[in-house]
Amino acid sequence: MRHLLDTRTLGRAEALRILDVAEDMRDTQSREIRKLPTLRGKTIVNLFFEDSTRTRISFEAAAKRLSADVINFSAKGSSVSKGESLQDTAQTLQAMGADAVVIRHGASGAPHTLATSGWITAGVVNAGDGTHEHPTQALLDAFTIRKRAFGHASRGRDLSGIRVTIVGDILHSRVARSNVWLLTTLGAEVTLVAPPTLVPQDVSAWPTSIRYDLDEAIAARPDAIMMLRIQLERMNAAYFPTEREYARRWGLDPARLNALPEGSIVMHPGPMNRGLEISADAADSPRSTVLEQVANGVSVRMAALYLLLAGERDDRDDQGRDDQGAADAADAPGRPAREESAR
Ligand code: ASP
C-alpha cells in the first residue's frame, strides 16, 4: 500500500487485509509489553492543520507502539500560521526525512494533493480532509462492527448481511462518506437518516437508502446505529430550527435506545455532543461501542502504518497469495504478531 487517502477507491481485498492485520495488532496489545520493533528507524510526521484529540493521539500511539519516531506538527504556532504553503511545509518534511505523513486538513483533497504533488516521497495517510473522507475512522468502525458481530471468528469475513444506520449531519460528515464507501464495499446494507437540510445533493448516487424519520429507521432493526456529531463549525446557515428540536427528532434519546433490537450496537466517532445527537443514557449504555472504537482505532492505525511502511516487502512476498496469506504473514519471523518481536 503506497498511500491511504480514501475508502471510495479502496478495494474489498485491501480493506479486509487492513482489518485482518489490525486483528493481529490488537492481539499484541493485550500483552504485557505492547511495543513492537517493526518500524524502528522510520519517521512518521503527524501534520495537523485542524483540531483533533482522538485521531492525533491515536496515530501517535500507533506509531510509537511500532517503534517509529514521531514528529507532531500542528499548524497553530508553526510557520503555517505565518502563511507558509502546504508545498513549503511538505518540502521541509521531506528534507527532514519523513517516511510517512499523517495529514488532517480543512480542505477536501489536501492529502491527495500531497500524495500526488511530487513534493514528498513519503507515504500519505488521510486523517480527515474537510467534508471529504476520514478513511481510518471508517476502518476502525468496520473493525468494531465486525468484532461485535463475529468475535474470534472475524478474520477474513466481510459485513454481508449486516445493517448499519448512520444518523445526523451527513452533509458535513467525512466520517459518513468514508463509512458509506467502506461498509458497502464490505457488503453491509447502509441506511442514512437525516433532516432533509443535512442530506448532500448527490446522495442519490450513493449506494445507500435514505430515510427522514429516525423511529422508522429503528423499527427496521439495524445491527448498528452510528450517531454523527452536528458539525457546528462547518455550518454557515441554520440547518434546523433549534438544538432542542433536533434532539427531539433526530437524537438517540432513552426511548429510542430502548426501541433498538437486542444485540444492536450504538456507535459515535467522537467528539460527542451529549444531549444533542446522543443522550448520556445512550452514550454510556452497554450497547455503546464509543470507547471500543477508540481502542480499536490504535490497532487499525498500527495496521495502516505497518502496511504503508513495512508492507512493500509483504506485497512482494505475498504475490499470488490470498487474503488469508496476509493474516498469516503476521506470524512470520520479524512480523508483528510474533512473541519474541514484541519483547
Ligand atoms: N472526529 C471525527 C472527524 O474528525 C468526527 C467529528 O469530528 O465529528 O471527522
pLDDT > 60? residue 313? no
* This model's pTM is above 0.85: yes
Written as nine digits, the cell of 205 is 448516487
**Confidence tier at 233 by pLDDT (50, 70, 90):** confident
Q: What is the model's pLDDT at position 241?
A: 85
| Amino acid in position 89 | T
Which of the two residues, 226 and 78, has the higher pLDDT score? 226
Q: What is the model's pLDDT at position 341?
A: 35
Model pLDDT for residues 48-81, shown as the tens digit of each residue: 999 888 999 999 999 999 999 999 988 776 677 6
d(CA 264, CA 73): 39
Is the CB of 177 inside a 6 Å radius of any atom of ligand 1?
no
Q: What is the model's pLDDT at position 74?
A: 81
* Helical spans, DSSP H, in 198-338: 214-219, 243-250, 254-259, 280-283, 290-309, 311-317, 323-329
- Which of 57, 133, 137 should be mutated for ligand 1, with most atoms under 8 A from CB? 137
pLDDT > 70? residue 327? no
Which CATH class for the 12-133+296-342 domain?
alpha beta
Is the CB of 172 inside a 6 Å radius of any atom of ligand 1?
no
Ligand 1 nearest-atom number relative to CA 50: 4
**Confidence tier at 29 by pLDDT (50, 70, 90):** confident
pLDDT > 50? residue 317? no
Residue having the nearest C-alpha atom to atom 4 of ligand 1: 128
Kindly report which listed range (99-113, 206-220, 260-274, 326-340) carries the lowest average pLDDT score: 326-340
Model pLDDT for residues 115-151, shown as the tens digit of each residue: 999 999 999 999 999 999 999 999 999 999 999 999 9
Is the CB of 132 inside a 6 Å radius of any atom of ligand 1?
no
CATH H-level superfamily of 135-292: Aspartate/ornithine carbamoyltransferase (3.40.50.1370)
Q: Are 167 and 195 in contact (CB under 8 A)?
A: no
Closest by CA to 240, choosing from 197, 296, 207, is 197
User: Would you say the CATH fold of 135-292 matches that of 12-133+296-342?
Assistant: yes
CA 216 centroid distance within chain = 28
Rounded mean pLDDT of the chain?
A: 89
pLDDT > 50? residue 38? yes
Any idea where the domains of the chain sit in the sequence?
Answer: 12-133+296-342, 135-292
Is the CB of 147 inside a 6 Å radius of any atom of ligand 1?
no
* Helical spans, DSSP H, in 134-227: 135-150, 174-185, 214-219
> In whole angstroms, how far apart are CA 103 and each of 26, 87, 93, 260, 310?
24, 13, 12, 37, 19
**Confidence tier at 256 by pLDDT (50, 70, 90):** very high
C-alpha torsion sign, points 6, 7, 13, 19: positive
Closest by CA to 266, choosing from 249, 280, 285, is 285
d(CA 2, CA 214): 40
**Confidence tier at 249 by pLDDT (50, 70, 90):** very high
Q: Are 66 and 302 in contact (CB under 8 A)?
A: yes
pLDDT > 70? residue 342? no
